[in-house]
Amino acid sequence: MFLFDSPQSKPNPNSWRSKLDTFVKDNKQELAALAWGLFLERGEESEDVLGIDVVENPRFVYCKKEAIEELNRQVKNHIQEILGILKAHKPEKEVAIVAIGEGEIKLILFEPKPEPPVCFEQAATDVDTLLAKLEQQMLEYMKG
């Protein structure tokens, strides 16, 4: 996690980062299924990064890789590691999501068991249904 405005800030259990951590922990298989389904829709050539915009109503978004690179330049290469992780990301084995808040960015990275393609198969639903379900659940976690 990087705080762009106040490096002395202490993590708050009621912060969006903590709430998002709990949401991810409780929904790993569904998030893996969604990430894989969206990867299949976008295609291997896409350099868009799956993201979560937590400002106001949390929702899934796509971030252009160029936008993350530009942000890295603006913050004097403080998120260089995130760019490296995203470049090495293997969607068939792990889930990588960039969460964006007011003046903050957080990388969500995990290797689900089973792997994302199996999670998507086991979900037995389409991407739009998964997206709607997860966004509604995420909203409940973030308000709580």
Sign for the CA dihedral angle at 35, 36, 37, 40 comes to: positive
Helix (H, G, I), strand (E, B) or coil at 103: coil
Q: What is the pLDDT of residues 90-136, one digit of tens each?
A: 999 999 999 998 888 999 999 999 999 999 999 999 999 999 999 99
Q: What is the pLDDT of residues 46-95, one digit of tens each?
A: 889 999 999 888 999 999 999 999 999 999 998 999 999 999 999 999 99
Q: In the predicted model, is pLDDT for residue 23 greater than 60? A: yes
Distance CA 90, CA 142 (A): 28
| Whole-prediction pTM | 0.87
